[in-house]
């Protein structure tokens, strides 16, 4: 049984459309779609934006459904300046960027080590990325049509939508992150504490700068689709094992 999570419904609809749904459960006002994809038993759920909801949802997947692994899919803001909108980050590690002590002149993070994603799921995601043909990145993003770059990287998580170049640079410098979002490290922390394999797959909808809000609205659907394509291929590969 595989748990597939996202923060928003739009991030999961490309996956749930291909699901054979057996029943829908509700826990703590959150709906869990139970069924299969490619014959593989799955529970699909979007737990809302932010760390609290995603942690609660991940724990429910583990306690109520005894999932063998958790895959989180969705969009993110780019932190690595070498990446652009549409590129995809497969997590090797997730870390909280907003957990720490605020002093008058600086912020001291409590943890820069984070939580490591499962190595077998990481290799599976890389194989899935090789197998599929992603939607081409729109010309208005890069000036010419291009295929997404897929990288293994670090995902930074905080209860903040980052729309600041100054903050983007800080997250890059302090955490050496490749992208930033609002759920991954919370899911990773819950999974690690329960000894359940996890991985986060994120497609960039913006670059976490002053244009982030506008870019997010323009490109979230495109980014969510590519991330979902990769996860669906991961599920197909798992079903064949």
Phi and psi at 143, nearest 5°, equal 90, -20
Max alpha carbon distance in the chain (Å)?
55
Q: Please state, in angstroms and rounded to a whole number, the distance separating the CA atoms of residues 138 and 42.
A: 32
Tokens representing 105 are 């002149």
Catalytic residue, chosen from 178, 206, 215, 233, is 206
Task: Pick the closest to residue 200 from 159, 162, 231 (CA basis).
Answer: 231
Task: Pick the closest to residue 121 from 55, 189, 201 (CA basis).
Answer: 201
Tokens representing 106 are 């600086």
> Is 11 known to be catalytic?
yes
Q: Please state, in angstroms and rounded to a whole number, the distance separating the CA atoms of residues 218 and 144.
A: 17
Q: Locate all alpha helices (DSSP H) within 132-208, ordered by sequence.
A: 139-142, 165-175, 184-193
Catalytic residue, chosen from 11, 87, 118, 181, is 11
Burial zone of 195 (CB within 10 Å; 0-12 exposed, 13-18 middle, 19+ buried): exposed
> Is 206 known to be catalytic?
yes
102: Cβ contacts below 8 Å, ≥ 6 apart: none
Could you give the residue numbers annotated as active site?
11, 206
């Amino acid at each position: 049984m595989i748990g597939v999570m996202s923060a928003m419904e739009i991030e999961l609809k490309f996956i749930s459309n291909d699901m054979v749904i057996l029943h829908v459960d509700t826990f703590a006002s959150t709906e869990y779609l139970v069924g299969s994809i490619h014959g593989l038993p799955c529970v699909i759920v979007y737990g809302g934006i932010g760390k609290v909801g995603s942690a609660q949802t991940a724990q429910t997947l583990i306690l109520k459904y005894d999932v063998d692994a958790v895959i989180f899919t969705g969009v993110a803001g780019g932190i690595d300046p070498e990446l652009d909108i549409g590129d995809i980050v497969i997590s090797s590690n997730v870390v909280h960027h907003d957990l720490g002590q605020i002093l008058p002149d600086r912020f001291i993070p409590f943890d820069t080590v984070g939580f490591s994603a499962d190595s077998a799921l990481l290799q599976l995601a890389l194989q899935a990325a090789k197998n599929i043909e992603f939607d081409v990145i729109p010309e208005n993003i890069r000036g010419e049509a291009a295929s997404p770059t897929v990288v293994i990287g670090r995902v930074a998580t905080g209860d903040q939508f980052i729309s600041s170049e100054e903050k983007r640079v800080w997250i890059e410098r302090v955490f050496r992150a490749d992208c930033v979002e609002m759920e991954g490290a919370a899911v990773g922390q819950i999974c690690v504490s329960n000894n359940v394999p996890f991985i986060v797959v994120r497609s960039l909808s913006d670059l976490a700068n002053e244009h982030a809000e506008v870019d997010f609205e323009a490109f979230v659907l495109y980014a969510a689709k590519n991330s979902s394509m990769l996860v669906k291929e991961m599920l197909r590969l798992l079903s064949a094992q």
